[in-house]
């Protein structure tokens, strides 16, 4: 009799544990779905606002760049390329910032399967701003995809050199 009560108690405990684990998984899954929907909505609203400015003809080079970056995040690579090229054409700001536009354009080309064009844009970005670690890293990744391992190694060595130099300088400032 005692054994039967104990068995029912444990059986109920196991069922309750399974139910709680299932509810936990559902809660985590729901969180990620809602988060993704909100991020997507924010991107859509940003794209809509920026496209209205572009259509009105009042868009600056920075706004073309922002619209290109939004299209890149939404994975609309031809549109991203179009807006990033327009940003370069209208650019009148600092050359250091222009390197970011060339880097984003390179990312757009690479993700669209145009490795050679992407490599050209990354090379332009690092010519404009030789200390641009992200562009060097993207250049190395593009060369690696193209199976040009010596060129990839040179780009990654530059990343390491710049990263170590920056790290060393930061530590020197702390002293």
Residue 17 forms part of a structural domain:
no
| pLDDT over 80 at 132, yes or no | yes
CB burial readout 88-100, b (16+ within 10 A) else e: beebeeeeeebbb
**In the predicted model, what is the mean pLDDT of residues 30-59?**
80
Work out the pLDDT band at 175, boundaries 50, 70, 90. very low
Q: Are 71 and 102 in contact (CB under 8 A)?
A: no
Q: Are 84 and 104 in contact (CB under 8 A)?
A: yes
Residue 109 forms part of a structural domain:
yes
Instruction: Quote the crossing angle between the two packed helices 95-111 and 115-128, to the nearest 10°.
Output: 170
**Cα–Cα–Cα angle for 93, 98, 100, rounded to 5 degrees:** 135
Higher pLDDT, 166 or 96: 96
Q: What is the pTM of this model?
A: 0.74
Residue 107 forms part of a structural domain:
yes
Chain position carrying tokens 């444990």:
10
Residue 131 forms part of a structural domain:
yes
- For residue 43, the number of C-alpha atoms closer than 13 Å in the C-beta half-sphere is 15
Please give the share of the chain, as a percent, with pLDDT higher than 90.
Answer: 51
Residue 74 forms part of a structural domain:
no
The domain that holds 128 is classified in CATH as: 1.25.40.10
Residue 48 forms part of a structural domain:
no
Per 3-state DSSP, what percentage of the chain is helix, strand, and coil (rounded to 5)?
A: 85, 0, 15
pLDDT tens, residue by residue, 112-127: 999 999 999 999 999 9
The DSSP code sequence of 56-93 is HT---HHHHHHHHHHHHHTT-HHHHHHHHHHHHHH--S
Residue 44 forms part of a structural domain:
no
Residue 63 forms part of a structural domain:
no
Domain ranges, residue 156: 92-174
User: Domain total for the chain?
Assistant: 1
């Amino acid at each position: 009799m005692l054994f039967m009560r104990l068995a029912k108690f444990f059986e109920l405990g196991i069922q309750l544990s399974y139910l709680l684990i299932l509810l936990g998984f559902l809660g985590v899954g729901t969180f990620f779905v809602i988060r993704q929907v909100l991020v997507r909505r924010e991107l859509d609203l940003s794209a809509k606002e920026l496209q209205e400015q572009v259509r009105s003809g009042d868009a600056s080079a920075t706004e073309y760049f922002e619209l290109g970056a939004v299209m890149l995040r939404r994975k609309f690579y031809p549109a991203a390329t179009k807006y990033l090229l327009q940003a370069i054409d209208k650019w009148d700001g600092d050359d250091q910032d222009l390197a970011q536009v060339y880097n984003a354009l390179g990312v757009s080309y690479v993700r669209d399967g145009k490795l050679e064009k992407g490599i050209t844009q990354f090379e332009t970005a690092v010519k404009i701003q030789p200390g641009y670690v992200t562009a060097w890293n993207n250049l190395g990744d593009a060369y690696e995809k193209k199976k040009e391992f010596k060129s990839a190694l040179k780009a990654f060595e530059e990343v390491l050199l710049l990263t170590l130099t920056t790290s060393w300088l930061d530590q020197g400032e702390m002293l």
